[in-house]
Structures are given as C-alpha cells and as structure tokens.
Structure 1
Amino acid sequence: MGRSHSRLLVPIMSAAMLMLAACGGGSGGSGSGTQGSAAPGEKIKLTVGLFGDFGFKPLYEEFKKTHPNVEIEERQAAFADHHTNLAARIATGAGAADVEAIEVGYISSFTAQPDKFVNLKDYGAADRQKDYLDWKWQQGLSKDGQTIVGLGTDVGGLAMCYRTDLFKEAGLPTDREEVAKLWPTWEQYIETGKKFTEKAPRGAKFFDGPGEIMRAIVGQASVGVYDAQDNIVVGTNPEVKRAWDLSVQMIQDGLSAKIGAFTPEWNTGFAKGSFATVICPAWMTAYIQDQAKNAAGKWDIAAVPGGSGNSGGTHLTVPKQGKHPKEAAELVMFLTTPENQAKVFKAIGNFPSIPALYDQPDIQNFKKDFFNNAPVGKIFSDAARNLKPQHLGPKEGDVRTAIGNGLTRIEQGKQTPEQSWEQVLKDVAKIK
C-alpha cells in the first residue's frame, strides 16, 4: 500500500534470522516457475503476501467470479518482517507467496533479480504501460527494461495531517488553508512547532518522530540517498545533510514525541493524541482512521512543507517459485486495474498510480468525514501531479534504516548529532 513503509526505524535482522525466516511456508516450492497453469476445473489456492491491509479482500471475491476454481489466502506481516522474509525466501528459492507486495523503498533490490520473478510481460502487462505514471512504471522494470517485475498499486503523494483540537488549544489556526500558510518551508514548520510548544496541551508534542520527517524532506530533492548510477551519496549530497540538520534541529527544539513510526507506541500515540502533526501520504489516512477511532472530525489535512513529495507506494510481483504463475499474474493484473485502484482509494485511502483517474469526478470530489470532510481526492491528486520522481537505489531501505537509527541515537541521548552523523556515514559505507 502506499504505505510509506520504507521505515527509517526498521530494525535489521541478523543473517541467522534471515535464514530462519526463509524456512517459512509459501504455496510455492523451490521450482523454477516453469509449471503450467491449472488444469480446467482444478481447484487451486493462491497466496498473497502483504504488509498490512491493502483493501483487496472485496476484490478477491470479484476475481473469483471469473476464476471460480481459485481460492485466495492473504498473509499479512509487519512491514519490516515482510520485506526481510521475502528477501530470504527469494534468495533460497522457497517460501514466497504466489503474489508478493514490495514497497517502493525495496523494489529496486528485487528488480535487480528479474530471473527470480515471472515476467508479467508474458501475460499482457506491457499493454498497461499507457495507464501508469511513467516513473511508477519504470520502478517495476528490470534494469534492462526487458522484464516487468511488478505492477504498481498506489503512490504516496505527500500532505500533512494535523489535529485541529490540539492546534486550537495551542492558539494556532485550524482551517486547512490557513494551516498550510503556516509552513510553506520546513524552517517555517519548525517555527510553527515552537509556537505550538509554548501553549501545547499537556502531553502533546508537535510531531511523532523525526524518521518520516527526514524521509519526506529527502524525498523532495531531485537526488536522494542514491545517484542515478546507483552510488550511495549520503555523505556528499547536501540535500541529505540538510534534511538531517533540520530533523536534528526539530529534536533539539523539543518538538518530537520520540515515537518511531509503525511501532506499538505510535499506535498508542494516535489513540491518545500524543502528537499534533504527522507526515501524511494518502495511505496514511486509513492508518490514522484505524488507530485514532475516538478522534473522528478532529484530524484534518493540509499541504506539506515544501509543497510536494512522495513517501511510499507498492508493486505487486509474482515470484517464479509459485506453482500457478498464470493465475497469479492474472490476479496481479486484476488488482491493479484503474477501476480497482479507484475502489481501493475510496475504501481505504491508497492513492492510484493511474493519472487518468485524477480528474474523474468520483476521485476529484471524494471527501472523508473522519478528516473534517477534507477533500482528499483533490489534495492527493494535486500532490501526485506535482511529484518529482527520484531515483531509488538497490538498498534504499537499508540506507534509510541506517539514517533513522542515527536519529534515534540522538533522541535517546546516546550520541551527539556530530557523533551520530559520523556513525551513519560509516554504517552506509558498509551497505553493498
């Protein structure tokens, strides 16, 4: 799901744990994926590996109307576990699901292994290129462009979600247009955070934690943690250092609740109103709605500082080790149609990667009561149109984890910003 889930604070599993995870089950064996499709009338089961709820369950029932012999089992895992386990299962040739979701921060490490995946081109996917945002389509291709490894589900065009009740208590405006005027830049976001802190309600901080903030700032640059030649440029790209310095300043100014994204503490923070703002790709709206059930109408959505950016988005792939590549590929094709991407957006918030949908009235005019009737269709259509695509390297997720760990060390008082930055540079230098 647009789930930005290239989490900066994701722990890295040891090699031993990776191999243990590889022993987990999948519907496929260790075969090469050369098995044919099911025989007429043969009952088969397809497994779908996801990280969280993608809103697919109603679509499975639609798919089964044209594939009555297919049973679909969905397997959900935590974001970090999903990608770590998938890497091990692809490496060992066993245990992967028939269909596997891969988030944008990890997709390039898998498109670098096209021999391990079914080429969706063999099942007509090339005809879908015209539907997609060009950069989203390119992300799912092997480096030589000959293999369609994955078809995109959603994109994570950025906005900023905020608690209107906490803003009001702190003496700040609550109207989304007025709120957006508070922070056209990240520097002004920090100044707004200081004003919030002066009168903040008891127990509330300005934002959750610096990991997603840093990711958003880096994501707005033309070049991120990798250059176009797949060189890690964390130490030489001034945009990365700027994002780091801004994130550190936010920590030092006491604006952070020191809560890592996608942790149990984060979920509790949503429920208790522990922070007033959170980086908000489209998919985040469903997450907030699920975790902050008691806050309907108290959340709203404004433009993100810097004006645009992307955080998250996913592709669906078919590992070769599955027993039913034809049916699995047909399921991927079905789940990613424009019609079904629109249904998923309206159901849970994952924003389509199909630009022709953005001007359709049912998308453009779509609003969410939970977010104070915010025009989420227009907000995220505008965000998606303004995206500046950024090259993602093969170990994007690992690099971001190293940076996020560095920010955590500062928050926990274990290192000074200077010490932590030096360790970040040493840690990313070891990533190959």
Structure 2
Amino acid sequence: MSTSLRLGAIALAIGFSGLANAGTTLTVASFPNFDAAVKAAIPLYKKAHPDVEIKLVSLAIGDHHNAMTTALATGVNLPDVMAVEVGFIGKFAASGGLEDLSKAPYSAMQYKTKFAKFTVPQAMGGAGNLTAMPADIGPGALFYRKDLLDKAGVTEAQLTQSWDSYIASGKKLKAATGSYLLASAVDLKDIYIRSGLKDGEGIYFDKQHRPLVDSPRFVKAFELAKAARTAGIDAKISAWTNEWSEGFKRSQVASQMMGAWLSGHLDSWIAPNTKGLWRSAQLPNHTFASWGGSFYSIPAKAEHKKEAWEFIKFMTLNKAMQLEAFRSLDAFPALIEAQNDPFLDKPIAFLGNQPARKLWKVAADKIPAIAVDKFDPVANEIINAELEKVLEQNKDIKQALADAKTQIARRVRR
C-alpha cells in the first residue's frame, strides 16, 4: 500500500469525533527521530480535529531534555505535550512538574493492560504517579554483520550462546577480519546490569532506595567489559559519535547491542551502504532487556491539557497510528494490539530480508517490568566513571564498585 493510501486509511479508521475548542494551537515538544511520528500524525489529526493546530518544536535529544528541565523548573516555555525518553522520566517525575495521568480526568491506568508490561512501571518514574504514556519501546537486540562472521567462520549460535562465547567469537573475528566485535566494552556492562532481573526489581537501587552497585550482577558486568577490552575486541568508540557511525560504514565494527529501533537508524543514515549485510538476533546468554523507549507527558502548567490528552491518546492508543510510526521509524510499538499485526511478519530488506520483528516481539514479551528510581541517571553516571577507571587505569573492580556505592549514597542523601 502506498504511503498516501495508507495515511488515508488511517484517517478513516480514526474518525471525526472529539472536536476541540475552536482556534486551539497545541504545542508538542519532541526530538529526532521520535518527532517523525508527530509529523506523520499532524495531517491525520487535523482531519479528526480540524479546529486544532499542531505546532511541533523539535531539538536534538540532549538539547530537548535540557530545555524541558528548565521549562519544568521555571514554568516558562512549557509545551502542551512533552516527549520524554525513558532515561529522563525519573528525573522529570521527581520534579513534580508533570500531570499524574492516573487521576481524573485522565484515569489512564484503565489502559495499563494495553501496553507491554514493562512500560507502565517505566512511565511511573519511581514517583508512584503515572507521569507519561508509552509510545514506543526498545526490545534489546544484537545486530551483527553476517558477511564478516561468515568470513571468520563464526555462527550466530556461537555468537549468542553465552557471554564467554560472545567474547571468544570476537577474538576469532578480529584475527580473521581485523574488525572489532563491538564499538565499546561499556555496551557489555549496560546489557548485563539489566539482565536477570525480576518484575519490580531495580537496576541500581532496591525498593528502599539503597544502591545495589556492589552486587555480583555489577561485578560480572565489569568483568565482562574488562575481558572484552583486554581481548582487544572493542573499538573504544562511544555510541552516537562520528567515529561510531564511521565504524559501521567502514565495516570496522561487526556487532552492536541496542534497541530494535537501531535497524532503522542503520538503514536510513548511519550505514545505508551496508544494506543486506546485517542480521538481528536475541541478546547473548538468553538475555532480554529494554533499551530506550519514548513517552508523552503533559506538564502540570500546560495551557491546553484537555487537548493534549486527546493528542496523546491518539499517538499511543490508536493502533493505526502506532503502526504508521512502526512502518516509518521502525519504532517498535508499545501498544500490544499493534505488536500483533501481520506487519511483524514482513521481511526487512536491510537485514537481508530477515523477518526480525518477530524476534523483537518475543523479546518484548520477556522483558521484566523493572522499577525506575529518580536517581538512576546519577547512578549511571557514577558507574560509567568508575568503569572507565577499570578499563583505562586497571583499577580493581570490587574497589571501583565500592567507591561507586559510596559516591551514589552521598549524592542521594543531598
């Protein structure tokens, strides 16, 4: 179906009910590429709500969240609808500057079972209030260059069987092709600290907000990162840098663990020259974890809350709109109804016509509902700084984690 026909069908599915007050301009603040979903929605929303104008304000993801932090603190330049990446929800929820969507007139908890189970705890941000509605999710996936692995005689099964086999595969790959297995050893830490958790458990803190960073889970995560660095199989490149993109374009990095949405980024702008060479697999060692995710919130001091809520429902609860974002962005839908659409069975040309979305759906169903703490970003920053000392200065792992725990406890008490 062509884009124009598909959009027309969506408009028919949406209908023409729920007109807002005449002359309302709804300001939506977002960031690339999440803003593309809003751009696609504007003409469709106008058909259902002809008296509502949508003004999209988009900034780079860091600039957007910095601007929203300032706006929430000052009450100035607040949008009506605020896009929030999952890593910022705890911070924004703790500020008290967002509407509690679980309360009237929103009563959004009635929709809880419509979304992937781990999204609503994320949306509560550790504050006990529902401060956001989930739009898309990032089922963790391993993307790898099949051509490079074939050249090294490494199979997908060997790559994913265990963390030790993943590192061993990297050594074999490096010897045969000169390519690094992964961009950064930090990626191993990031995935491992999210593995083996149960519903309700936190990554960095327990339910009493006590740091967990000296636990065996973090020790193993640091050990894996150190093993990768010692083996020389990581390129020492940080994600989202120019060097990171070039590593993929030039076939210098052969795998990346990230959210399922990475496939769309690789295809559209990071490394389109490698189309057909990549494949997707589940994370090594039968691990299932969430990587990223996008949400919509309403600032407590927003001018048009009623209209904002209607727009958020349109973006998150409407199957047709969720699927449109999925098609155009590879933004895996949070809405379960959209996850069960036959679209998931379609092959992905960039991934060698692999029907990889079916794998991502399996992962989405297995990801635990992890508790979010408002101090998670603080803990993440401190942990990364200590891991850097382990990798670059050979600091003792247990000492590094003990120091991290002390620093986190000090920051939390402030």
The alignment's TM-score, normalised by the length of structure 1, stands at 0.81
Deviations 1:174-194 (A, max 9, x none): xxxxx0343221111111111
The CA distance in 1 between the partners of 2:407 and 2:58, in whole Å, is: 30
Which of 326, 333, 341 pairs up with 2:322?
A: 341
| Map of 1:212 onto structure 2 | 187
Which of 95, 109, 112 pairs up with 2:94?
A: 112
Deviations 1:377-404 (A, max 9, x none): 2111111111122222112122222222
**Matched-pair contact (CA < 8 Å) for 1:346–1:366:** no
Shift in alpha-carbon separation, 1:182–1:269, aligned structure 2, 3 A: closer
**Matched-pair contact (CA < 8 Å) for 2:141–2:258:** yes
Between stretches 147-156 and 351-360, larger displacement belongs to 351-360
Residues 1:155 and 2:156 aligned together: no
- After TM superposition, the structure 1 = structure 2 runs for residues 87-236 of structure 1, keeping only pairs within 5 Å, are 87-114=69-96, 116-117=98-99, 119=101, 121=103, 122-123=105-106, 125-141=108-124, 145=128, 147-173=129-155, 179-201=156-178, 204-222=179-197, 223=201, 224-235=203-214
Residues 1:377 and 2:360 aligned together: no
Between stretches 56-65 and 292-301, larger displacement belongs to 56-65
Q: Quote how far apart the aligned CAs of 1:43 are.
A: 4.5
Deviations 1:235-256 (A, max 9, x none): 2x21112111111111111111
Which of 257, 273, 281 pairs up with 1:302?
A: 281
Q: Quote how far apart the aligned CAs of 1:417 are.
A: 4.9
The CA distance in 1 between the partners of 2:170 and 2:255, in whole Å, is: 9
Between stretches 242-251 and 91-100, larger displacement belongs to 91-100
Deviations 1:69-124 (A, max 9, x none): 33333333333333344233212222333222222233223333445436364235
Deviations 1:329-358 (A, max 9, x none): 211111112332222122221212223443
Higher RCO (CA 8 Å, separation ≥ 6 residues): 1
**Matched-pair contact (CA < 8 Å) for 1:297–1:370:** yes
| Map of 1:240 onto structure 2 | 218
SS where residue 134 of structure 2 aligns? strand
**Matched-pair contact (CA < 8 Å) for 2:93–2:125:** yes
Shift in alpha-carbon separation, 1:376–1:160, aligned structure 2, 3 A: same
| Map of 2:300 onto structure 1 | 320
Shift in alpha-carbon separation, 1:431–1:61, aligned structure 2, 3 A: farther
Residues 1:400 and 2:377 aligned together: no
The alignment-based identity, stated in percent, is 25
**Matched-pair contact (CA < 8 Å) for 1:50–1:100:** no
Shift in alpha-carbon separation, 1:134–1:366, aligned structure 2, 3 A: same
Q: Quote how far apart the aligned CAs of 1:154 are.
A: 1.9
The alignment's TM-score, normalised by the length of structure 2, stands at 0.84
SS where residue 354 of structure 2 aligns? coil
Shift in alpha-carbon separation, 1:47–1:109, aligned structure 2, 3 A: same
The CA distance in 2 between the partners of 1:159 and 1:143, in whole Å, is: 26
Give the letter for the 1:77 counterpart: L
| Map of 2:5 onto structure 1 | none
**Matched-pair contact (CA < 8 Å) for 1:208–1:278:** yes
**Matched-pair contact (CA < 8 Å) for 2:28–2:55:** yes
Structure 2 residue runs of 5 or longer lacking an equivalent are 1-18
The CA distance in 2 between the partners of 1:427 and 1:266, in whole Å, is: 30
Q: Quote how far apart the aligned CAs of 1:144 are.
A: 7.3
| Map of 1:46 onto structure 2 | 27
Aligned length: 385
Deviations 1:289-326 (A, max 9, x none): 12101111011111211222221112210112322122
The CA distance in 2 between the partners of 1:84 and 1:426, in whole Å, is: 27
**Matched-pair contact (CA < 8 Å) for 1:50–1:74:** no
The CA distance in 2 between the partners of 1:301 and 1:144, in whole Å, is: 35
SS where residue 124 of structure 2 aligns? coil
**Matched-pair contact (CA < 8 Å) for 2:263–2:350:** no
Give the letter for the 2:194 counterpart: G
SS where residue 81 of structure 1 aligns? helix
The CA distance in 1 between the partners of 2:20 and 2:49, in whole Å, is: 12
**Matched-pair contact (CA < 8 Å) for 2:20–2:49:** no
| Map of 2:309 onto structure 1 | 329
Shift in alpha-carbon separation, 1:60–1:231, aligned structure 2, 3 A: farther
The CA distance in 1 between the partners of 2:350 and 2:171, in whole Å, is: 27
